[in-house]
Structure 1
Amino acid sequence: MTAPLASKLAALMAARVVPVLRYTDAATAAYAAEVAVAAGCATLELTWTIPGVTDLLRALRDKHGSALQLGVGTVLDEHQARDALVAGADFLVSPALATDIVDMAHAADALCLLGAFTPTEVLAARRAGADIVKIFPADTGGPKHLAALKSVFPDVLFCPTGGVTQDNMGTYFAAGAALVGIGSNLYDKAAFAARDTPALVAQIVRTREAAHG
């Protein structure tokens, strides 16, 4: 692993909780991103499903510089991967075994997280060179499923995503998660609808403190 990749992996691991921003318009996603940054998050995943996601990535990079590690998720093919990398993504995340994007990511000094659920898929992700294996959807199997996978793949870094909350993330960490991805559960829905920034920031701070506790 190159020094830039090792540095990015260390930063990703240190985050413990990665906000996964999946919204139907860029303005809402941008607001969610700024709330997360205000709460101390230094790593964000922007999903490909956000309209104009590469423009949003560039805007966040221009505003926050290298202090913010930015990834693009829901990457399904080489075309999306290339566009994300050209925009400056620090890491790519696929919900599935998109093994063709691994070498492309590494060539750009970007990390690659591949999605898996079964032991066979975890092995395939590892063989493809994935830096971290994303267990998705996590809540389908729950922490027990993750613990079973960790028992036979002790050297794999796992990131369960999908249904992870502040209340249950501790059980995922105990089961062997290196970090977790949390989507809309990271933001109280009523506070988000009201754009109650102080309440949202406080909520994310509590989640981050619990993850590092």
Structure 2
Amino acid sequence: MTGEAMTGEAMTGEPRRVALPQRTVDSRLIVVARAKRAEDYDAVLDVLVDAGIRSVELTLTTPGTFEHFPQLLARFGDAVDLGIGTVTNTADLARAIEVGAAYIVTPITSTGFVTQATDAGVPIVPGGLTPTELFASWSAGASAVKVFPAGQVGPAYLKDLRGPFPDLVAVPSGGVDLAGAEAWLRAGAVAVSVGGPLLGDAFSGGDLAALRERAAAFVEVCARDSA
């Protein structure tokens, strides 16, 4: 079990919920890695871990992610939480649980997915944008909700959501750059999910030294906001 399930539903009316990995919560930053092939993860993860990244979401849009995951877990699992994202069906969700994902991310709202992951003791972060979608996932027991695409709304949206949903644990994703990361965290996000603005051209032959600098800048901003 990768998170601690809270089981007070019968007494409090709260759903069962599995906490996000503490290392991910402490870092306040999830890097979303989309590569052309799974073998390309290794060199990029080397740099990310060296720069202080402690949570990476590996996406199923990258061919071979499941097959390569055990090797990545053996090599990097002691230093970084490795989640699996872009999960859109129950078969892939079951496989992500089976291979040992530290957490699961889906771009859609599915209370069935939440139940499946929670029953297995694995944290899950379902996506949504409207209050109805986000509340449906949260009330079903999601570990956090993914505000997606975050670039279409902005940090003030989370402040508005906190009115009716003061306990909502949110992770914005989609179009979050360095300044946006700081703004979303100040608005109350538990973490930010960042892809292109941090990774840039790293998966297409880009300068890995420049990747290290970008990653270190995001780590610094997220740590500063949590201080």
Paired residue secondary structure (1:85): helix
Q: What's 1:52 paired with?
A: 64
Structure 1 range deviating more: 27-36 or 123-132: 27-36
Deviation at 1:198, TM superposition (A): 2.5
Q: Are residues 1:149 and 2:152 paired?
A: no
Structure 1 residues 61-140: aligned runs within 5 Å: 61-140=73-152
In the alignment, structure 1 residue 207 sits paired with structure 2 residue 207: no
**1:138 & 1:181 partners in 2: Cα distance?**
10
Q: 1:144 to 1:31 in 2, by over 3 A?
A: same
Q: Report the RMSD for the aligned CA atoms in angstroms.
A: 1.9
SS of match in other structure, 1:19: strand
Per-residue deviation, 1:195 = 4.0
Higher relative contact order, chain-length normalized (CA < 8 Å, sep 6+)? 2
CA contact (8 A) 1:44 1:71 kept: yes
Q: Which amino acid in 1 is paired with 2:211? A: L
Range with bigger deviation, 59-68 or 43-52: 59-68
What do the CA deviations read for 1:138-178 (whole angstroms, capped 9, x no partner)? 00111122221123212111000000011221111122211
When residues 74 and 188 of structure 1 are mapped into structure 2, their CA distance, relative to the original with a 3 A threshold, is closer
What letter matches 2:141 in structure 1? G
1:114–1:183 Cα change, 3 Å: same
Question: Contact 1:46 / 1:53 at 8 angstroms: preserved in 2?
Answer: yes
Instruction: Return the alpha-carbon distance in structure 1 between the equivalents of residues 118 and 189 of structure 2.
Output: 23
What is the CA deviation profile of residues 44-100 of structure 1, one whole-angstrom value per residue up to 9, with x for unaligned ones?
A: 100111101112321111112343211111111111101111111111101111222
- State the identity %: 33
Q: What is the count of residue pairs matched by the alignment?
A: 210
TM-score, length-scaled by structure 1: 0.90
Which of 159, 169, 175 is residue 187 of structure 2 equivalent to?
175
| Unaligned runs of at least 5 residues, structure 1 | none
Output the TM-score relative to the length of structure 2: 0.85
> Does the 8 Å contact 1:192/1:200 carry over to 2?
no
SS in 2 for 1:71: strand
In the superposition, relative to structure 1, how do residues 194 and 54 fare at CA in structure 2: closer, same or farther (>3 Å)? closer
| 1:113/1:134 contact within 8 Å kept | yes
**How much has 1:199 moved relative to structure 2?**
2.5
Task: Give distance in 2, aligned partners of 1:192 and 1:54.
Answer: 18
1:185 to 187, 197, 211: 197
- How far did residue 104 of structure 1 move? 2.3
Report deviation, 1:34: 2.2
Q: Could you tell me whether the CA contact under 8 Å between 1:160 and 1:180 is conserved in 2?
A: yes
The runs of 5 or more residues in structure 2 that have no matched partner are: 7-17
Partner of 2:208: 197
Question: Secondary structure of 1:151's partner?
Answer: coil
Higher helix share: 1
Question: In the aligned structure 1, how far is the partner of 2:127 from the partner of 2:99?
Answer: 22
